[in-house]
C-alpha cells in the first residue's frame, strides 16, 4: 500500500512539473507577441526604453512599418525633442542642405549625442570629426569637443561632399552617397561607382554602387586599373548608411507626432 501511495505522489509531481513548464512557455510566448505588437504598431525602441506613440497618420504608419527589425538605437528626449542639441541642428542644417533630423541621426551614430565622445579611430566630438578633417577646416584640436564648433566642421564637410556628388541628380540618392562618404571618404565610393558603371549598372543609384562596394574586398575588383585607392571592407559603411537612414525615419516620426508619452 505504501509503495502504491509513493507511486501516486511521484505521478502527481510529474504532472505538476509538466504543467508548470507549459505555463512558463505560454507566458514567454505571450510576452513575445505583446512586445512584437508594441514594436510594430505603437512604439519606438530606443536606448532609453520604449516611447509610446499615438495618433500616427496612415503615411507615418507606413513609414514606421518599414523600419527594420534590427531596431537601430534612436535615443530621444521625448515630447518631439531628439536631443539637447536640436537647436544647433536646426540652425546649421540649411547650410548643409539637409533635414536637421538627418544631422541628428548622423550625430547619434557618431557620438550618441555625447559631445566629449571619442573612438579608437580618432574620431571625436558630437559629429565624430577626425583630426585630419579638423585641420582641413581649421578647427583647433582643443575645440574639437565643442559641440557647435564640431558641428560647423561637419556641415562644411557635408557641403564639400555634396559638391563631390553633383552628378547624382536624385536628391534622395545623393543623400545616401553623402552619408556613406561622411563615414568612409569619397574615394572608396568613387572606386565603387567606377566599377558599377564598368559592369553596366547605375553609378548614380546607391543600391547598385553598394553592391560593388562589397566587392572592393576582392582582389579581382580592387586591383582593376579603374580603382585608385585599393582594398576596402565596406561592411561598416553599408551598415552606417542603413542605420542613419533608419534612425532618420524614427526621428521624423518623433518630431511629427504631437502626442508622445
Domain positions in the chain are 1-44, 86-248
Tell me the three state secondary structure of residue 48.
coil
What is the model's pLDDT at position 256?
84
**Catalytic-labelled residue, pool 2, 40, 95, 110:** 110
Query: With 0-12 CB in 10 A as exposed, 13-18 as middle and 19+ as buried, what is 253?
Result: buried
- Cα dihedral sign for 122, 124, 129, 131? negative
Does 242 participate in catalysis according to the annotation? no
Residue 117 burial by CB count (10 A; 0-12/13-18/19+): exposed, middle or buried?
A: middle
CATH number of 86-248: 3.40.50.300, 3.40.50.920, 3.10.310.10, 1.10.530.10?
1.10.530.10
Show the DSSP H helices in the chain as ranges: 2-37, 58-65, 86-96, 100-111, 131-136, 147-164, 171-184, 186-198, 206-214, 219-222, 235-256
Local mean pLDDT, 10-residue blocks, the chain (261 residues):
57 62 50 36 33 42 50 86 97 96 97 89 87 93 94 97 96 98 96 97 98 96 95 96 97 73 37
What confidence score (pLDDT) does residue 240 get? 97
| Whether 114 contacts 92, CB under 8 Å | no
- pLDDT given for residue 44 in this prediction: 35
Rounded distance between C-alpha atoms, residue 83 and residue 76, angstroms:
6
Amino acid at each position: 500500500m505504501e509503495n502504491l501511495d509513493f507511486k501516486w505522489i511521484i505521478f502527481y509531481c510529474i504532472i505538476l512539473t509538466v504543467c508548470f513548464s507549459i505555463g512558463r512557455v505560454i507566458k514567454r510566448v505571450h510576452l513575445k507577441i505583446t512586445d512584437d505588437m508594441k514594436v510594430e504598431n505603437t512604439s519606438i525602441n530606443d536606448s532609453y526604453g520604449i516611447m509610446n506613440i499615438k495618433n500616427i497618420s496612415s503615411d507615418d504608419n507606413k513609414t514606421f512599418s518599414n523600419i527594420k527589425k534590427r531596431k537601430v538605437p534612436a535615443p530621444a528626449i521625448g515630447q518631439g525633442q531628439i536631443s539637447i542639441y536640436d537647436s544647433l541642428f536646426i540652425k546649421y542644417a540649411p547650410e548643409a542642405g539637409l533635414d536637421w533630423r538627418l544631422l541628428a541621426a548622423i550625430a547619434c551614430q557618431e557620438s550618441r549625442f555625447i559631445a566629449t565622445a571619442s573612438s579608437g579611430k580618432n574620431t571625436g566630438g558630437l559629429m565624430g570629426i577626425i583630426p585630419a578633417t579638423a585641420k582641413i577646416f581649421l578647427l583647433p584640436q582643443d575645440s574639437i569637443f565643442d559641440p557647435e564648433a564640431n558641428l560647423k566642421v561637419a556641415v562644411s564637410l557635408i557641403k564639400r561632399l555634396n559638391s563631390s556628388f553633383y552628378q547624382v541628380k536624385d536628391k534622395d540618392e545623393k543623400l545616401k552617397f553623402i552619408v556613406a562618404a561622411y563615414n568612409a571618404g569619397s574615394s572608396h565610393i568613387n572606386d565603387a561607382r567606377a566599377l558599377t558603371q564598368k559592369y553596366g549598372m547605375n553609378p548614380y543609384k546607391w543600391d547598385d554602387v553598394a553592391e560593388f562596394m562589397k566587392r572592393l574586398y576582392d582582389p579581382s575588383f580592387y586591383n582593376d586599373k579603374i580603382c585608385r585607392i585599393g582594398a576596402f571592407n565596406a561592411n561598416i559603411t553599408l551598415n552606417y548608411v542603413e542605420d542613419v537612414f533608419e534612425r532618420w525615419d524614427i526621428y521624423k516620426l518623433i518630431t511629427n507626432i504631437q502626442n508622445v508619452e
